[in-house]
Amino acid sequence: MAWQEYINVQQPRFVEELLEFVRIPSVSAKPENAGDVQRAAEWVVERLARAGIEGAEVLPTDGHPVVCAEWMGAGPDKPTVLIYGHFDVQPAEPFDLWTTPPFEPEVRDNKVWGRGASDDKGGMMVPILAVEAMLATQGKLPVNVKFFFEGQEEIGSPDLPPFVRANADRLKADMIFSADGLQWAPGQPQIVEALKGLISLEVHVQGPRGDLHSGLHGGGVANPAIALAQIIASMKSPDGAITIDGFYDDVVELSAEVREAIARVPFDEADYLAETGAPATSGEPGFSTRERLWGRPTLDVNGLSSGWQGAGTKTVLPAEASAKITCRLVANQSPETIYDLIEAHVAAHCPAGVTARVTRNPGRADPFLVPSGHNATAVATQVLEDVYGRAPYRTRAGGSIPVMTTLLETLGVHAVMFGFSHDDENLHAPDEFFRLDAFRIGQIAYCQLLETLGRS
């Protein structure tokens, strides 16, 4: 029997198993569900064993556990592929907005409805089932495969970096694929080439010791809220370019070829404005909206705070003012360098009569850009084209996925996102669902991916 036929025949059982997996409320954010996260890890180990992967283990971290497993039977001449996914899920609240209870999943309209069905329980089962199909029909895999599943993705994987560093040998691989990823739309695959990095900071401006009466002291001492406005305004030109000295220095410019690839992905400006409700798109000149969203670094003020914010008037000259700022970085910007540049900028642009300081918040992430011509990406692209009959869009994301950076930094390998969820599947909202078509197509795609990698 070919793996294709196995997948077709076993699909009803696979769906039942997905329902069983979704029934475990492995909410990593809620301490009372810690036992469920552990139970989900154990379920994964059993499921791997059923797929023919022996020796899978639940391994502890300082928080929720991880699951590691490997099948190294292809031998040292064949590449080793690491597949990543996660078995924890988002909280399901508010429960009353669900059509059916989040942890009592059911099948409707050829979709599985339940918390985690799409993110990422369905997604992470896909490569396990693909491996089962190949092992069951051929007794072996075309390449060596390692599995690395975690239980804390939805809370930002706080304990993952030390675990990966401590287990770098165990996780060592030639290529990494993340089963936690999205396709562009049903029938339209994508390859995510880049993710943005992130830094978060606060600018604090201090004027007088305490709030002063604006009538008695206005005109005598500088106003920290105005000084903060002047500092922020100095960071961006009126046309939207960031004016912090050196900010763009390390940016990998978008090549003509990359800009063409971005332009091939449909983008409707009117739809985008209707979605966001903004009166106009806006940003750095010289780039399309999508180029800015995907390929250019940004600086946003996330919050402003100063003085009186209640109703009506309070004639106060505030003692202090502060702004929360995040920057999204692109390759090859370094979070540390950008922090330093912003700190220098604030020092150079602090008006007379106040003092300003910058504090750095936790949560920095390096930008992630798959090198042009990267082998795993090329193979994944070809497989997706074969499976869908359409070339995948080459996309980028404005968000950060810290685990991608962790794997790159520690293992030295650029992960390729190879997942089959869709962003309309209510991933972090009530009525999450996973398309069963995508579940099956994903299994086929993973089999083809392993086969193609085995031939190369």
Q: Which of residues 147-186 bind a second copy (CB under 8 A)?
A: none
Residues from 396 through 425 that contact a second copy (CB under 8 A): 397-400
**355 pairs with which residues across the strands?**
206
Q: Do residues 172 and 409 lie in contact, with contact meaning Cβ atoms separated by under 8 Å?
A: no
Work out how close the CB of 101 gets to a second copy at its nearest, in angstroms, rounded to a whole number. 28
Which one among 64, 115, 146, 292 touches a second copy, defined by CB under 8 A? 292
| Residue nearer to a second copy on the CB measure, 73 or 156 | 156
| Coil/strand/helix, residue 277 | coil
Q: How many residues of this chain interact with a second copy, rule: CB under 8 A?
A: 83
**Distance between CA atoms of residues 98 and 444, nearest Å:** 31
**Distance between CA atoms of residues 68 and 266, nearest Å:** 39
Which one among 326, 405, 406, 410 touches a second copy, defined by CB under 8 A? 326
Radius of gyration in angstroms for the set of CA atoms belonging to the chain, rounded to a whole number: 25
Which one among 94, 277, 373, 389 touches a second copy, defined by CB under 8 A? 277
Rounded to whole angstroms, the maximal C-alpha distance in the chain is: 89
- DSSP conformational letter for 297: -
The CB density around residue 230, as the number of other CB atoms within 10 Å, is 16
Which one among 31, 75, 76, 279 touches a second copy, defined by CB under 8 A? 279
Which one among 316, 344, 391, 408 touches a second copy, defined by CB under 8 A? 316
Q: How many residues appear in the chain?
A: 456
Work out how close the CB of 133 gets to a second copy at its nearest, in angstroms, rounded to a whole number. 35
Which one among 318, 335, 402, 442 touches a second copy, defined by CB under 8 A? 318
| Residue nearer to a second copy on the CB measure, 222 or 391 | 222
- 162 φ, ψ to 5°? -65, -35
Under the binding rule (CB under 8 A), the answer on residue 232 touching a second copy is yes
**Distance between CA atoms of residues 17 and 400, nearest Å:** 31
Which one among 19, 58, 272, 332 touches a second copy, defined by CB under 8 A? 272
Under the binding rule (CB under 8 A), the answer on residue 228 touching a second copy is yes
Under the binding rule (CB under 8 A), the answer on residue 307 touching a second copy is yes
| Residue nearer to a second copy on the CB measure, 127 or 207 | 207
Work out how close the CB of 201 gets to a second copy at its nearest, in angstroms, rounded to a whole number. 9
- From residue 186 to residue 225, what is the string marking binding to a second copy with x (rule CB under 8 A)? ----------x-x-x------xxxx-xxxxxxxxxxxx-x
Establish how many alpha carbons lie within 13 A of residue 98's alpha carbon, considering only the half-sphere containing its beta carbon. 22
Which one among 230, 332, 334, 337 touches a second copy, defined by CB under 8 A? 230
The one segment of 2-10, 75-83, 391-399, 439-447 that binds a second copy by CB under 8 A: 391-399
The one segment of 10-18, 121-129, 146-154, 275-283 that binds a second copy by CB under 8 A: 275-283
**Distance between CA atoms of residues 194 and 395, nearest Å:** 7
Work out how close the CB of 294 gets to a second copy at its nearest, in angstroms, rounded to a whole number. 9
| Coil/strand/helix, residue 142 | coil
The one segment of 103-111, 125-133, 135-143, 284-292 that binds a second copy by CB under 8 A: 284-292
**368 pairs with which residues across the strands?**
195
Q: Tell me which residue of 67, 15, 71 sits closest to 46, measured CA to CA.
A: 67
| Residue nearer to a second copy on the CB measure, 354 or 450 | 354
Work out how close the CB of 69 gets to a second copy at its nearest, in angstroms, rounded to a whole number. 32
The one segment of 87-95, 171-179, 307-315, 408-416 that binds a second copy by CB under 8 A: 307-315
Peptide bond into 8 cis (omega under 30): no
Output the six-digit token pair for 56: 């899978």
Q: Do residues 342 and 244 lie in contact, with contact meaning Cβ atoms separated by under 8 Å?
A: yes
| Coil/strand/helix, residue 192 | strand
The one segment of 58-66, 283-291, 339-347, 447-455 that binds a second copy by CB under 8 A: 283-291
C-alpha separations of 116 from 96, 152, 183, 235, 405 in Å:
17, 13, 17, 41, 23
